[in-house]
Structure 1
Amino acid sequence: MYSYQPGDVERRFAEGAKGSAWPGADVERRGTFARDRARVLHSGALRRLADKTQVVGPRDGDNPRTRLTHSLEVAQIARSLGAGLGMDPDLCELAGLCHDIGHPPYGHNGETALNEVAEDCGGFEGNAQTLRILVRLEPKVVDQHGESMGLNLSRAALDAACKYPVLRTAPDLSLRKKYGCYDEDRSILEWIRKPLGGNDSGRRSMEAQVMDWADDIAYSVHDVEDGIVSGRVHLAVLEDLVELAALAEKGARIFGGRPEELVDAAANLWALPVVSAAAQFDGSLGGFVALKKMTSELVGRFIGATLSATRHRYPEDLGRHRGNLIIPDQAAAEVKLLKTIAVLYVMDEPSHLGKQDRQRDRIFRVFDYLMAGAPGALDPMFAQWWRAAESESAAHRVVIDNIASMTESRLERLDRIAAKYLNII
């Protein structure tokens, strides 16, 4: 039986009773995790994902997938997975909603640019920024000293949203490429992981594992769907042995494993009637119905495979830090293959590469402009933090936080101002 402990619902700051309750109304009936989920759902940080790139830009095409729509899809898959294993479904859904909330304008491309200009203040990583938003930047709760507690989520909620529960700087002082917490936020990560005591190996909670696999499922299936609709992806590649061999080699290099596993995965997928039917997509009503049937059944296929394998391995003893999500090798290979197709035929399209150069240049210009004009050029909340910064590094981080919190439309408007200010145009 999956269970939660009293420490899991603890918050960093104990909040008092609400002062505006209707006289005679029932007391709050929601559980802690339902309240946490609601806080994320109503946050400005989540809404801003509507104007942040997933694969193509949020203004490209009539039905674009943005970081927000992707996060909603991940949340739904995570909820289904978690509920099937006895986890709290609100907690798993919250993890899905949060998983990309730290992404800056232009997604991973923006992340690369911000990491370059943030080197002097500890780097930039979207996962670490997620934690920073949840515990500092999203305005909801302040403590008795007026310090922001962010959304003041419960311990289990923050742990569920932490894909990489480690600091940037490893014990041997090397710098990790993937991490979930900036070094300056160390005390917060220590609080989150406190129940583990001295046994914290950096392993994700079960809910975070569910979130990560739900992200892989959504990314692989839905990005291929978008590629098919745009005409960039043709599923006939699954039976083209020559092109498939090259595809499998590249996929193994990018995502790991052996090329032979991806070739076998292609055969497994092509043998599914829904996949071969979707390969005939022509933009007609029937074509869209077949495509939606494929995406629905593939999502269900990967959820079902994981539930079956995990229940078989752990018939009883599962908990936040007991057990692992078991993903069958065949399901993992099929998802890797779909992700490879999305990367090679959609994300790495030549027209995107030139656009990405321009996106990074915008971020560099806005950064220079804000650094030169701080605090006056910063948003009011960030200007307040800039004035309170105790070091140049801390002030530098405030500028990074301000840029990362912008939508793409806002960044582009500010870039036009920055370009004039810096005499670039």
Structure 2
Amino acid sequence: MAARKRPSLYSENDWKREVDEGGDTDPWRLPVGRDYGRIVHSASFRRLQGKTQVFPGHESDFFRNRLTHSLEVAQIASGIAERLNHVDPYFSEKKLDLRLCEAAALLHDIGHPPFGHNGERALDDLMRDAGGFEGNAQTLRIISRLEKKVRRAADFKGDDRAGLNLTYRLMAAVLKYDRVIPARRAKNKKLVKGYYESEADVVRRIKSHTAGNVGGRAFKTIECAIMDLADDIAYSTYDLEDSMKAGFLTPASILASREDLLSKVAKKTSEELERSITPDDILEVFSDIFAVIVPEDSENSLLSFVETFQTSQELSESGYLRTKLSSALVHEAINSVEVELDPKYPMLSKAYLNDRARLRVEILKQYTFESTIYSSRVKLPEFRGYEVVKSIFEALASERGFLMMPDDVREHYRSASNKAQQLRIICDFVAGMTDRYATEFFDRLHSNAGHSMFKPV
């Protein structure tokens, strides 16, 4: 009896696009290769260089921005897929597409507005009655609508923009949350992560061309899961590295953390992992983490490390040790990824970190968030970012404020059929700004000093 053939991970439908562009294509160039090129050459991807990761770019050339972070996530995602192709019995036969995982990772932050999560919070507050604002939803909107690459046929009824016109399988790989964001929500309701109603038709076509009818299964592709893990690994590791370089944290200061800080981190970590984590657990993880970069001939590795790096200045000068630490953490995390195969729908198989690695990643995320991102030195410029975004949005949404937007955006605004659509167009424009562009736009709204009317918006 012949062995039953395993279902393929990819099909011809995966590589179809919203718009058939026609014409001849190079026979050696795969569809996902074209996707990758379109991302790298897009304006939205370039603008990530001007968007803050943790520390504003003007503070130092060392610190990561959204663009360099996305490049690191892409490398980690590729590394995860490469390892799974080697060690997993199923994927060693039906290979994960490394370029697809990389491309999804390059896109994962493309929907973020200026000033990080504070900019996102400002836009969501302003859009609460018009569908809200959420970075992942904005990513899908950018690649399927806003990027100026492809238009639909002239006789198409409705919005004829097709964005980058990427393959369905790549768009599926950035669809992290399979639900529509409500058009309105009460003030006490938190942001719902998902996609906007305006892209619901795109999501339906993504599903029909990739997984088809999957019944009650949650729709999240394995490439999306890999991208998500790579993002967690990258920012849990590299936010720590940036914080140490900035002098915000040292191993000694972490191991001597205040009880209230450790309690906050333990509480947040417990909520995320849905199990009890104590302050002692936090310290135990960090003791283990910092032992990695101690010289091998040290008699007492932890004690030697703490004694050697008592001050932030000492650690700031040791780029070799920071690099060694980051490399070890990323390498261990990649080697800790496991898969739960869905034999009926292999593309919906789950990739996840084992318990030990997930604990470490979550503690690193929560500790850096509470100690650095919530610090007064970081919060002050973040607060200004909220006010800048809010002020620009309100000015553009005022009577005839839309006239301050570029000509092509004005035309979309004028053709909008209702107020909610008009607000979404304003939101798209503001969300696409870099930190510097938003600051300059804000200054031109509120001051005449040093600004020329001949410089276009």
TM > 0.5 fold call? yes
Instruction: Identify the TM-score tier after normalising by the shorter chain.
Output: 0.7 to 0.9
- Native 8 Å contact 2:225 2:352 kept in 1: no
- Cα separation, partners in 2 of 1:192 and 1:175, compared to 1, 3 Å: farther
What amino acid is aligned across from residue 420 of structure 2 in structure 1?
S
- Native 8 Å contact 1:374 1:383 kept in 2: no
Matched position secondary structure for 2:353: coil
- Native 8 Å contact 2:172 2:221 kept in 1: yes
Distance (whole Å) between structure 2 residues aligned to residue 178 and residue 140 of structure 1:
29
Who is 1:141 aligned against? 150
- Cα separation, partners in 2 of 1:393 and 1:314, compared to 1, 3 Å: closer
Who is 1:265 aligned against? 285
Q: TM-score, normalized by length of structure 2?
A: 0.82
Who is 2:196 aligned against? 182
Matched position secondary structure for 1:402: helix
- Native 8 Å contact 1:74 1:218 kept in 2: yes
Who is 1:227 aligned against? 243
Matched position secondary structure for 2:350: coil
Who is 1:24 aligned against? none
Matched position secondary structure for 2:55: coil
Matched position secondary structure for 2:60: coil
Q: TM-score, normalized by length of structure 1?
A: 0.88
Deviation digits for residues 37-82 of structure 1 (CA, Å, limit 9, x no counterpart): 1111111001101111111112112312111111111111011112
- Native 8 Å contact 1:4 1:319 kept in 2: no
Distance (whole Å) between structure 2 residues aligned to residue 337 and residue 41 of structure 1:
33
Deviation larger for 196-205 or 288-297? 196-205
Who is 1:16 aligned against? 22
Q: CA deviation at 1:319?
A: 2.6
- Cα separation, partners in 2 of 1:388 and 1:394, compared to 1, 3 Å: same
Matched position secondary structure for 1:130: helix
Deviation digits for residues 217-276 of structure 1 (CA, Å, limit 9, x no counterpart): 000100000111111112235644864843642442564442245454334324434595
- Native 8 Å contact 2:247 2:313 kept in 1: no
- Cα separation, partners in 2 of 1:180 and 1:41, compared to 1, 3 Å: farther
Who is 1:377 aligned against? 404
Q: Percent identity?
A: 30
Q: CA deviation at 1:202?
A: 3.5
Q: CA deviation at 1:355?
A: 2.2
- Native 8 Å contact 1:262 1:336 kept in 2: no
Matched position secondary structure for 2:137: helix
Matched position secondary structure for 2:403: coil
Distance (whole Å) between structure 2 residues aligned to residue 97 and residue 159 of structure 1:
14
Which of the two has higher C-alpha Rg? 2
Distance (whole Å) between structure 1 residues aligned to residue 420 and residue 170 of structure 2:
29
What amino acid is aligned across from residue 125 of structure 2 in structure 1?
E
Distance (whole Å) between structure 2 residues aligned to residue 364 and residue 344 of structure 1:
25
Who is 1:252 aligned against? 269
What amino acid is aligned across from residue 166 of structure 2 in structure 1?
L
Q: CA deviation at 1:345?
A: 2.1
Q: CA deviation at 1:201?
A: 3.9
Deviation larger for 51-60 or 129-138? 51-60
- Cα separation, partners in 2 of 1:414 and 1:158, compared to 1, 3 Å: same
Distance (whole Å) between structure 2 residues aligned to residue 278 and residue 142 of structure 1:
58
Deviation digits for residues 115-149 of structure 1 (CA, Å, limit 9, x no counterpart): 11112321111110000000000110111127110
Distance (whole Å) between structure 1 residues aligned to residue 265 and residue 394 of structure 2:
42
What amino acid is aligned across from residue 302 of structure 1 in structure 2?
A
Deviation larger for 112-121 or 285-294? 285-294
- Cα separation, partners in 2 of 1:230 and 1:388, compared to 1, 3 Å: same
Matched position secondary structure for 2:336: helix
Who is 2:451 aligned against? none
Q: CA deviation at 1:278?
A: 7.5
Distance (whole Å) between structure 2 residues aligned to residue 402 and residue 291 of structure 1:
38
Aligned with residue 428 of structure 2, among 401, 416, 419: 401
> Is residue 327 of structure 1 aligned with residue 353 of structure 2?
yes
Distance (whole Å) between structure 2 residues aligned to residue 99 and residue 9 of structure 1:
19
Number of equivalences: 408
**Aligned runs of 1:114-263 on 2, under 5 Å?**
114-145=123-154, 147-169=160-182, 177-194=191-208, 195-197=211-213, 199=215, 201-237=217-253, 239-240=255-256, 243=259, 245-246=262-263, 248-252=265-269, 255-256=272-273, 257-260=275-278, 262-263=282-283
What amino acid is aligned across from residue 296 of structure 1 in structure 2?
S
Distance (whole Å) between structure 1 residues aligned to residue 373 and residue 44 of structure 2:
25
Deviation digits for residues 74-94 of structure 1 (CA, Å, limit 9, x no counterpart): 111011112222310111001
Deviation digits for residues 155-188 of structure 1 (CA, Å, limit 9, x no counterpart): 1100111221321139xx9977342310222111
- Cα separation, partners in 2 of 1:206 and 1:187, compared to 1, 3 Å: same
Q: CA deviation at 1:329?
A: 0.5
Matched position secondary structure for 2:59: coil
Matched position secondary structure for 2:357: helix
Aligned with residue 362 of structure 2, among 325, 336, 346: 336
The structure with more helix, counted as a fraction of residues: 1
Matched position secondary structure for 1:196: coil
- Native 8 Å contact 2:290 2:325 kept in 1: no
Q: CA deviation at 1:316?
A: 8.5
What amino acid is aligned across from residue 407 of structure 1 in structure 2?
T
Matched position secondary structure for 1:272: helix
Q: CA deviation at 1:356?
A: 2.2
| Structural RMSD (CA) | 2.9
Who is 2:453 aligned against? none
What amino acid is aligned across from residue 134 of structure 1 in structure 2?
I
Distance (whole Å) between structure 1 residues aligned to residue 267 and residue 254 of structure 2:
14
- Native 8 Å contact 1:227 1:345 kept in 2: no
Distance (whole Å) between structure 1 residues aligned to residue 267 and residue 305 of structure 2:
24
- Cα separation, partners in 2 of 1:100 and 1:412, compared to 1, 3 Å: same
- Cα separation, partners in 2 of 1:388 and 1:115, compared to 1, 3 Å: same
Distance (whole Å) between structure 2 residues aligned to residue 141 and residue 177 of structure 1:
31
Deviation larger for 374-383 or 218-227? 374-383
- Native 8 Å contact 1:55 1:223 kept in 2: yes
- Native 8 Å contact 1:262 1:333 kept in 2: no
Q: CA deviation at 1:367?
A: 1.0
**Aligned runs of 1:68-147 on 2, under 5 Å?**
68-85=67-84, 86-145=95-154, 147=160
What amino acid is aligned across from residue 336 of structure 2 in structure 1?
A
Who is 2:60 aligned against? 61
